[in-house]
Structure 1
Amino acid sequence: MSTEGVPAHELIVLHAADNVAVARVELAANTGIAGPDGSTLGVRAAIPAGHKIALRFIAQGEVVLKYGQPIGVASVPIEPGEHVHGHNVEMGQTQPGQGAGVRHDAILSAQESATFEGYVRADGRVGTRNYIGVLSTVNCSATACKAIAQAFSGPAALPGVDGVVAITHGSGCGMSAEGEGLELLRRTLRGYAAHPNFAAVLLVGLGCEVNQVAPLVEGLDAPTRERIRTMTIQDAGGTREAIAHGQALVRELAAQAAEARRSTVPVSRLVVGLQCGGSDGYSGISANPALGAAVDLLVRHGGTAILSETPEIHGAEHLLTARAASPQVAEALLARLRWWEDYAARHGAQLNNNPSPGNKAGGITTILEKSLGAVAKGGGSTLMDVVEYAEPVHSRGLVFMDTPGYDPVSATGQVAGGANLICFTTGRGSTYGCKPVPSLKLATNTAMFRRMSMDMDFNAGEIVDGTLSVAQAGERIFRLMLAAASGEPTLSEQHGLGDEEFVPWQLGAVM
């Protein structure tokens, strides 16, 4: 076996207690590499970049440790230098017990806090963009909404307005007239209708749907109702007439929206949704911890971050409950996880069915490993509150919103809850846009950042390369947040992406 070629720094050991390391680059079979204790570790078979290698013998049934935390148990004996992945690791009984702490973060004074340039709305909330929304109450009005918005798709079609966004979906009828399904859809649509990134909104229905226009609007506060116009296709006399009338209403709304101007506001008005998608073995090493460092800065400056994707914190929730602001907040998080376990069981599934094939190809073996990396996006800040899907976020600091792990559904809930910026980490490569909210894409590795350079706003892969620390990356991401919130276009905005990402969580019977 050769002992040349791969230097020791090509192994990433994340915690002194770990019995696995992460390959910084692909490791060839039958080569030798220096282990963390200085001894030579023989690479038994080729190990892809981002995947795990055993640092010592791991007995069958022994816990596999990464980040100093359990990510599974060995299903067979694992020799030093072996590839550690789904072929020799299973979930087992590895979840630690829960505890609830009581913490509060130190917040900078108003004089020290950072600022950004935003649009202050009548209700006091602050937008990072100045769009007009055309929202459908039901799938039956989706085509008309898109046709209305498309009339204003050219550059500078409406001076002083960032654009017209059609928010459409596949629900709104064929459902119970009461219950959680309709309640959830209405809460999501109301969140978008009231969103500060919309200067004004046109709400379009068919006319006979379950999700009627009138009760939807009645649930909104007075300042929001003042900037909303409504119509139905049936009352307008048909599709052609509705499109023409809708376009006329948008022109009226645009005249008022164009008067909005950016002004200097404190970071306490910034609400950032945290997302990760297409994760890989580097996600929990580079982009997620770097985003966590940026979140800690955001919270210190008085801002708010929304951590979500409840199935993807499964197995790592103890890291959040331990820093909850109160036992009640910790219990609220555990209650949502119990709901998810029951929900999955009712449909013949398990939360352990995650990760996805792409995650596994990138080096993630179990949901525990994925969850530990996902939780890192929240940094070390106090967990201040737990809210339901699309529920308005009122607390400042780190907040958890209960959402599915599917990125578009999760981000839709965050935006409905008030997020005016999205930060999205990705290792395999995501092109997610999020109109009306800017979406920053943070790459976990340099190879993907270079391959998809027109989609990635930041390269956290420099952490893996050893040229940037997590703290340095966090500071740069925080500054990138402020720039994007102040109007600097993200790459997804430059490419016009984000028109099709409104995906509300559908619950309840379809009838």
Structure 2
Amino acid sequence: METQSVRPILIQVDQCDNVAIIANEEGLEQGTMLSNGIFLQETIPMGHKVTLADLAQGDAIRRYNQVIGYASEALPAGSWVHQFRVELPKAPQLDELVYDDHPPQTLSPLEGYYFDGYRNPDGSVGTKNLLAVTTTVHCVAGVVDYIVERIEKQLLPHYPNVDGVVALNHLYGCGVAINAPAAVVPIRTLHNLAKNPNFGSEVLVVGLGCEKLQPELLLNAEHEPIAIPKQQIIMLQDEKHHGFQSMVNEVLTQANVLLGRLNQRSRERCPVSNLVVGMQCGGSDAFSGVTANPAVGYASDLLVRCGATVMFSEVTEVRDAIHLLVPRAANAKVASDLIAQMRWYDNYLAAGQTDRSANPSPGNKKGGLANVVEKALGSIAKSGTSAIVEVIAAGERPQRKGLIFAATPASDFVCGTQQLASGITLQVFTTGRGTPYGLKAIPVIKMATNSALAHRWDDLIDMNAGTIAEGLNSIEQIGQQLFEMILAVASGRHQTWAERWGLYNQLSVFNPAPIT
């Protein structure tokens, strides 16, 4: 009899779980004997689940000590548990969720940590010093892109303290039901994007002239109007313009003035309580919930203990774990707001004749995630253990410091845009399948959930949490390393790979309102 050459590596999250994931990079072949004496019934890829006991048809499948689904057929111990063998359970019933007014204990404060940031007149602090050119309508996007390229080549070399220029282009502004109730979402998003702390309170607006989203509506949305001089609002249809170069020259002239003011700024030592950090995952796999996301959660707790603001999002990727989040609400209002945002999104999906089963993606499934329940249970690990102190709708800005749930779609690009509008100045992005995702307005730290990805994409991934699965590091160790990297990146001392390569995604504003 041949000696088994490969040592099986299994990850069982909770002792009550009846499945575990295969951590071997090449997976495990049929007939492999596991440490518990079970033989694999079939070859199972890395990240996918194996049954640790015999399951009859209809039996509950448990991971994270939660039911992630029901066996659609009899599965002997050692069987491969994939999407076609798991029946999706019902989502937690929102009307049955009860808040018992026992929020988590406040974590002990953590003092003595700082970063070097840019202080703004409104009290916020940026991690970058950028000029933003915001737009009222997509019609002007081509002109703005041309002008941004001119600014980068001709003007920026004269302003060494300015990190760059960002065009806040979008697909909104006209051909839309501007007065529809849901139009508040894209309008406040665009309004708040211009107020991101990384833009130094300097706003340059470029519009066309005939659009529905007039500058007055863009600037005066929400409860905090943006007051800027009239000359910083440039409309391309203005009769004073004779040709394209006239438009370009006016924008360049105003940009030159704003760049001069931004160039007078420099980094200052700031307490970590001034940081606003977004936590997001994309291209997730079965390792996300046991390596990268828990490490992010540990770093989230450290930031909250320092008094910082931390946002986690992606409604459909917390919906099936909402019963675990409601007890973490700081008070009854926060619990009620959490449930309200879940209900709003349920209705939004129903109006589009779809539901939560549209998530996860094919890549998620290939990475071992059988359904949205399993994905949600791993996703919420990014939030750590702190009490949730506030819930904000898509594009809103928080009024509290601490752990915030920012209700956004799960789409990487939309979530990133909405978190930007909510004021994040840095983002941590975990991935198991890999993505070159980046945002020009803020640094994005990308963390791999498994070492195979980290090694293959060594010049795209900033941190590797896969060593947790290999037993080389603990969640706490990687979480501490991430916390330290966040401070270094926020201070401009360390540059992420996306920044080095200039890999930036376009903005994607969430628009649930009608298009006319």
Tell me the alpha carbon deviations over residues 429-458 of structure 1, each in whole angstroms, 9 at most, x when there is no partner: 011111211111011111111111111110
- 8 A contact 1:28–1:47 mirrored in 2: yes
Tell me the alpha carbon deviations over residues 434-490 of structure 1, each in whole angstroms, 9 at most, x when there is no partner: 121111101111111111111111011111121110000000000011011111321
Which residues in structure 2 correspond to 1:359-508 (within 5 Å)?
359-487=364-492, 488-498=494-504, 500-508=505-513
**Alignment partner, residue 142 of structure 1:** 141
2:37 corresponds to 1:40: yes
Q: Secondary structure at the match of 2:197?
A: coil
- 8 A contact 2:451–2:464 mirrored in 1: yes
Q: Secondary structure at the match of 2:232?
A: strand
User: Post-superposition shift, 1:251?
Assistant: 1.1
2:282 corresponds to 1:277: yes
Which residues in structure 2 correspond to 1:24-63 (within 5 Å)?
24-25=23-24, 26-35=26-35, 39-63=36-60
User: Post-superposition shift, 1:50?
Assistant: 0.6
Name the Cα RMSD after superposition. 1.9
- 8 A contact 1:20–1:53 mirrored in 2: yes
**Matches of 1:52 and 1:156, distance apart in 2:** 54
**Matches of 2:207 and 2:121, distance apart in 1:** 26
**Matches of 2:177 and 2:213, distance apart in 1:** 10
User: Post-superposition shift, 1:95?
Assistant: 4.2
TM-score of the superposed pair, with normalisation by structure 1: 0.95
**Alignment partner, residue 209 of structure 2:** 207
2:233 corresponds to 1:230: yes
User: Post-superposition shift, 1:366?
Assistant: 0.9
**Matches of 1:226 and 1:336, distance apart in 2:** 37
**Alignment partner, residue 75 of structure 2:** 78
Counterpart code for 1:60: Q
- 8 A contact 1:172–1:185 mirrored in 2: no
Q: 1:157 to 1:310 in 2, by over 3 A?
A: farther
**Alignment partner, residue 328 of structure 1:** 333
2:4 corresponds to 1:4: yes
Counterpart code for 1:75: S
Counterpart code for 2:136: T
Q: 1:437 to 1:18 in 2, by over 3 A?
A: same
**Alignment partner, residue 216 of structure 1:** 218
Counterpart code for 1:59: A
**Alignment partner, residue 102 of structure 1:** 103
**Alignment partner, residue 15 of structure 1:** 14
User: Post-superposition shift, 1:281?
Assistant: 1.2
Q: Secondary structure at the match of 1:124?
A: coil
User: Post-superposition shift, 1:322?
Assistant: 1.3
**Matches of 1:71 and 1:178, distance apart in 2:** 41
Q: 1:43 to 1:203 in 2, by over 3 A?
A: same
**Matches of 2:88 and 2:227, distance apart in 1:** 48
- 8 A contact 2:430–2:449 mirrored in 1: yes
User: Post-superposition shift, 1:3?
Assistant: 6.7
- How many residue pairs get aligned? The number is 504
- 8 A contact 2:30–2:44 mirrored in 1: no
**Matches of 2:225 and 2:422, distance apart in 1:** 18
Identity value in percent: 38
**Matches of 1:400 and 1:226, distance apart in 2:** 35
**Alignment partner, residue 170 of structure 2:** 169
- 8 A contact 2:219–2:227 mirrored in 1: no
Q: 1:332 to 1:417 in 2, by over 3 A?
A: same
Q: Secondary structure at the match of 1:322?
A: helix
Counterpart code for 2:51: A
Q: Which runs of at least 4 in structure 1 moved beyond 6 Å after TM superposition? A: none
**Alignment partner, residue 87 of structure 2:** 90
User: Post-superposition shift, 1:171?
Assistant: 1.5
- 8 A contact 1:127–1:198 mirrored in 2: yes
- 8 A contact 1:13–1:20 mirrored in 2: yes
Runs of 5+ unmatched residues, structure 2: none
Deviates more, 1:19-28 or 1:233-242: 233-242
Which residues in structure 2 correspond to 1:176-187 (within 5 Å)?
176-187=177-188
**Matches of 1:320 and 1:395, distance apart in 2:** 18
**Matches of 1:228 and 1:398, distance apart in 2:** 39
**Matches of 1:228 and 1:377, distance apart in 2:** 44
**Alignment partner, residue 258 of structure 1:** 263
User: Post-superposition shift, 1:71?
Assistant: 0.8
**Matches of 1:5 and 1:201, distance apart in 2:** 63
**Matches of 1:79 and 1:462, distance apart in 2:** 31
TM-score of the superposed pair, with normalisation by structure 2: 0.94
